[in-house]
Amino acid sequence: MTVVGPFGLSVQDQALEAEVRVGMAAVEEALAEATKSTVPFITVAAQHLNEAGGKRFRPLLVLLASQFGDPNAPGIVPSAVVVELTHLATLYHDDVMDDAEMRRGADTANARWDNSVAILTGDFIFSRASQILAGLGPEAVRLQAEAFERLVTGQIMETAGPGPNEDPVRHYLEVLSGKTSSLIAVSCHLGALMAGADPRVIELLKEFGERIGLAFQLADDILDIASDSHVSGKKPGTDLREGVPTLPVLLLKASEPDPDVPGDLRLRELLTGPIEDDALHAEALELMRRHPALAQAREDTLRYAEEARTLLAALPATPARSALEGLCDAVALRTM
């Protein structure tokens, strides 16, 4: 039997599969409980996005990382709930910042109610995560606080943009490291820590989370351009249309104009801002798909995935390690 998780992750070992199923069921039950309030309206608002679903990528990493110690330790499921609640709360705030109208196939909280409700609901969910976290001990509190600081710092850096003398590509990678990799890395860290894994194993899993988190986010950049389907969860070229800087575009802009590259000059002209016209958008998307910058972005993404795989090689050869290696394979598949 096989459990297929986010991004095509599969668990091939039957015993591990059973443990993951039980663990994820416990996480779902705890998430439902953690988003309840004595005030009915808060419950509706807090469970709005939770009930819409999600990949549950971070809780899954907590469970897999715990396999390198005692996966039945009492802090495992609460840690998984903490990281998912933190992620969920940031989505409420992100949707306000982005003025988004849809999330996980449902109306966003700010669209259904208003910005104030969305922001305060996110705060409520953060408070519930903090209550659970307090029961995991001071080290867990410190780790989560550091991860959350990195997450917020990455968001602020994205909002502020690169400085006048700052490399936009480097700035972008630092933003992603904060916004995405921080919470994925702490998921691996907490899972292994709560399970009592060896300190060296904990460090390796944390570093794995850093790199695989960055690789998956960069893979999204490639999918936005290269995919003809809805594999990325949004229409192809959405970032191009909205003028959102992604790695392929930043790499193009960082390079010197090259009239020998077909469409290079025209593409640079089109990418000066958002592209609202459908015909111009289609033209830019097609030119971007053929540009060397996309191939370079793909190579950079695969390099981070390979770095993650290399770290795993130092871990014991277990079904859990194989499952994590499957994440590295999934990056390659997503970027094709």
pLDDT < 70 positions in the chain = 1-11, 99-105, 228-234, 336
| Whether residues 317 and 276 fall in one domain | yes
Q: Which CA distances in Å does 255 have to 265, 292, 293, 302?
A: 12, 10, 9, 20
Q: Cα separation of 86 and 131, whole Å?
A: 12
Q: Cα separation of 35 and 46, whole Å?
A: 5
Residue 14: the pLDDT is 84
- Asked whether 20 and 319 are in contact (CB, 8 A), the reply is no
Give 4's DSSP letter: E
| Amino acid making up residue 273 | G
Residue 253: the pLDDT is 93
Q: Residue 7: which domain range?
A: 1-197
| Whether residues 187 and 308 fall in one domain | no
Residue 310: the pLDDT is 95
Spell 13-25 as b/e; 16+ CB within 10 A means b.
Answer: beebbebbeebbe
| Whether residues 183 and 247 fall in one domain | no
| Whether residues 241 and 315 fall in one domain | yes
Residue 3: the pLDDT is 47
Q: Cα separation of 35 and 88, whole Å?
A: 10
Residue 99: the pLDDT is 67
| Whether residues 167 and 255 fall in one domain | no
| Whether residues 14 and 38 fall in one domain | yes
| Whether residues 187 and 204 fall in one domain | no
Residue 244: the pLDDT is 82
- Asked whether 317 and 323 are in contact (CB, 8 A), the reply is no
Residue 101: the pLDDT is 65
pLDDT in tens, 124-160: 999 999 999 999 999 999 999 999 999 999 999 998 9
Quote the tokens at residue 42. 């808060």
| Whether residues 18 and 164 fall in one domain | yes
What is the pTM assigned to this prediction?
Answer: 0.90
**Total count of domains within the chain:** 2
| Whether residues 151 and 56 fall in one domain | yes
Give the CATH number of the domain where residue 156 resides.
Answer: 1.10.600.10
Residue 116: the pLDDT is 84
| Whether residues 210 and 183 fall in one domain | no
Quote the tokens at residue 30. 């705890």
* Cα–Cα nearest to 325, from 336, 335, 334, 311: 311
Mark which of 151, 171, 197 sits at the end of a domain.
Answer: 197
Residue 93: the pLDDT is 81
| Whether residues 46 and 170 fall in one domain | yes
| Whether residues 214 and 247 fall in one domain | yes
How many secondary structure helices (H) and strands (E) does the chain include?
16, 4
Mark which of 141, 167, 197 sits at the end of a domain.
Answer: 197
Mark which of 162, 197, 232 sits at the end of a domain.
Answer: 197
3-state secondary structure of 11: strand
